[in-house]
């Protein structure tokens, strides 16, 4: 009796549940094996239709460009009759990847584009599908910035994801259609070029120390003081990164600010706070020698916190430079 009770009360339910799980798992696996090829084929057909829709002049169809290896790029197709290319690329949106297909003519002009898929907020980020927004990209033949397209109000991240996707597609076009490979400069090379394009790379130096400086870089033309300021990443109330804005301030031989470079992408909101990197804004600081001068610079519209962080970087750097020199 006791053994029978053990079977009914303990072992039998376990065996039954295990059997059910095995059957369900088998059915799910079988279903996936049946549906996966169908889903893949439907996706292929949809992509083929999108290519024809965006570049109808490609009357002979398209061929896949082999060997594509670029972050953010899904695939590159060339029109068999040579009228252009379609490139699928993505940017990171608020809800996930925002996938675009972009059609280029042979001169690199965007002739058409569409959003293939996204998971952005309905009524806000989903506005990236609106014809009015997509029209801002059409006809362009260069890498775009947030100022070129007018970001969607309340959907900065989604707008930036679109901008990233389209610019990534252009980068792929330049490399795989035109053979143009952009070589990224190292930090040392970028810092050297703060003094001029022909100036050799900067060298990190430990000759100087200061509580308000992160580090110092030396070039044959002058010194660079690296400081940090509280931008949107620290004091912002929308998508703060928790990171300080870093500024690289180059001084000429007379102790005046010669140039400034910010690492805004690491801490500030793309398309808004990153505007502190614009040459026109940086020009406001050129020639300054007193730490109270940066605060006289106007803040960038809708970019108050990042602007203040940028000013703080320069003010700190001037103070540091004057004290160590």
* Sequence spans of domains, the chain: 62-176, 187-324
Residue 23's contacts (CB-CB under 8 Å, 6 or more residues apart) are none
Quote the distance between the C-alpha of residue 271 and its chain's center: 10
Q: What is the pLDDT along the chain (325 residues), one digit of tens a residue?
A: 555 666 566 666 766 777 777 777 766 666 666 666 666 666 767 788 889 999 999 999 999 999 999 999 999 999 999 999 999 999 999 999 999 999 999 999 999 999 999 999 999 999 999 999 999 999 999 999 887 888 888 888 899 999 999 999 999 999 999 998 888 899 999 999 999 989 999 999 999 999 999 999 999 999 999 999 999 999 887 667 899 999 999 999 999 999 999 999 999 988 889 999 999 999 999 999 999 999 999 999 889 999 999 999 999 999 999 999 8
Would you state the pLDDT for residue 34?
A: 65
> Which residue in 160, 149, 95 sits closest to 121, CA to CA?
95
Report the C-alpha gap between 94 and 128 in whole angstroms.
Answer: 12
The confidence score (pLDDT) of residue 81 equals 97
CB atoms within 10 A of CB 43: 12
pLDDT in tens, 281-307: 999 999 999 999 999 999 998 899 999
Provide CB contacts within 8 A for 170, sequence distance 6+. 102, 104, 108, 110, 142, 143
pLDDT in tens, 195-216: 998 999 999 999 999 999 999 9
Q: Rounded to whole angstroms, how far apart are CA atoms 114 and 130?
A: 10
Q: Please, are residues 224 and 233 in contact by the beta-carbon 8 Å criterion?
A: no
pLDDT at position 296, please?
Answer: 96
> What's the gap between Cα 243 and its chain centre?
17
CA distance 9 to 15: 11
Structure tokens at 253: 């031989």
pTM reported for the whole predicted model: 0.70
* Count of other CB atoms within 10 angstroms of residue 282: 18
- CA 309/CA 300 separation, integer angstroms: 12
Q: Please write the tens of the pLDDT for every residue from 152-197.
A: 888 888 999 999 999 999 999 999 999 988 888 999 999 999 999 8
Phi first, then psi: give them for residue 10, nearest 5 degrees: -120, -60
* Per-residue pLDDT, 8: 62
Fold held by 62-176:
Sufe protein. Chain: A (3.90.1010)
């Amino acid at each position: 009796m006791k053994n029978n009770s053990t079977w009914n009360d303990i072992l039998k339910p376990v065996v039954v549940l295990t059997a059910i799980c095995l059957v369900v798992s088998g059915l799910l696996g079988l279903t996936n094996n049946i549906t996966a090829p169908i889903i893949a084929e439907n996706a292929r057909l949809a992509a083929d239709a999108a290519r024809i829709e965006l570049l109808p002049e490609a009357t002979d169809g398209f061929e896949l460009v082999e060997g594509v290896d670029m972050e953010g790029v899904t695939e590159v197709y060339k029109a068999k009759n040579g009228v252009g290319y379609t490139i699928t690329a993505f940017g990171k949106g608020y809800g996930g990847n925002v996938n675009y297909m972009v059609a280029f003519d042979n001169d690199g002009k965007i002739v058409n584009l569409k959003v293939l898929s996204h998971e952005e907020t309905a009524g806000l980020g989903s506005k990236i599908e609106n014809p009015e927004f997509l029209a801002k990209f059409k006809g362009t033949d260069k890498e775009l910035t947030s100022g070129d397209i007018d970001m969607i109000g309340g959907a900065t991240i989604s707008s930036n994801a679109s901008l990233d996707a389209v610019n990534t597609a252009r980068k792929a076009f330049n490399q795989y259609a035109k053979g143009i490979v952009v070589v990224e400069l190292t930090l040392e090379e970028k810092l050297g070029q703060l003094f001029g394009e022909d100036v050799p790379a900067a060298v990190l130096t430990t000759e100087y120390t200061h509580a308000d400086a992160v580090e110092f870089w030396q070039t044959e033309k002058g010194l660079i003081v690296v400081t940090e300021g509280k931008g949107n990443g620290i004091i912002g109330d929308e998508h703060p990164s928790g990171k300080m804005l870093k500024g690289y301030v180059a001084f000429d031989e007379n102790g005046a600010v010669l140039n400034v470079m910010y690492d805004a992408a690491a801490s500030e909101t793309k398309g808004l706070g990153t505007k502190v990197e614009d040459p026109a804004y940086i020009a406001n600081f050129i020639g300054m020698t007193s730490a109270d001068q940066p605060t006289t610079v106007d803040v960038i519209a809708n970019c108050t916190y990042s602007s203040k962080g940028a000013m703080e970087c320069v003010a700190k750097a001037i103070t540091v430079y004057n004290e160590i020199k």
